[in-house]
Amino acid sequence: MPYFPYMKILIVFFFIQIFLLLTMPLNNAYSAHLYVNINNLRSDNGVVYCSLFNKKNGFPSKDQKALVSTQGNILNQKSRCTFTDLEPGEYAVSAIHDEDNNGKFKMKLFMPAEGWGVSNDAATQLMGPPKYKDSKFNLSTNNLNLDLKIRYGIR
């Protein structure tokens, strides 16, 4: 068999390519983004905190049990929270307008004193917050713009 001086280089190059293909991370086939648009804030004060849940446990008020939480700045009484690289599935969003920017949801006489909202504008229960099953929505592999209404209690 004749000897080709470049054969070793080609073989090494071939194995390097195979190695790189096998070891590089695969791109996530599910990279949908969720944009939560809030257009009815009563002031530009503070920030908006948004939490994304993929199960009912902790929804809507226990953000430490959320899949992910983020915040949106406020301009002209509008805000946007963005969640990126999400897999398709069932989700629900909750948001609060922390007007005094203290990182806490203010209550007065057991009623919300700051703005709050959930996906699907789900109604509150007689003695409690909206339920996950009423707030959930499906996210496909496409990006989704979700409008969320903020409700305000007493000041």
Q: How confident is the model at residue 114 (pLDDT cuts 50, 70, 90)?
A: confident
pLDDT of 95 over the 90 cut? yes
- State how far the alpha carbon of 135 is from the alpha carbons of 28, 35, 38, 117, 124, in Å: 27, 16, 16, 10, 10
In a domain, 124, yes or no: yes
| Residue 6 falls inside a structural domain | no
Q: Which tokens is 97 given?
A: 């307008």
Q: Residue 116 falls within a domain, yes or no?
A: yes
Report whether pLDDT(52) > 80.
Answer: yes
pTM of the predicted protein model: 0.77
Per-residue pLDDT at 29: 56
pLDDT digits (tens, 9 = 90+) for 60-94: 888 889 999 999 999 999 999 999 999 999 999 99
> Among the listed ranges 13-27, 46-60, 84-98, which one has the minimum average pLDDT value?
13-27
Domain that holds residue 103: 32-147
Residue 67 resides in a domain: yes
Number of domains in the chain: 1
Question: Residue 19 falls within a domain, yes or no?
Answer: no
- Measured CA to CA in angstroms, residue 107 lies from 12, 53, 98, 104 at distances of 68, 23, 11, 9
CATH value at residue 140: 2.60.40
**Domain presence at residue 26:** no
**Contacts for 76 with CB less than 8 Å, ≥ 6 apart:** 44
| 9 located within any domain | no
Task: Please check whether residue 24 lies inside any domain of the structure.
Answer: no
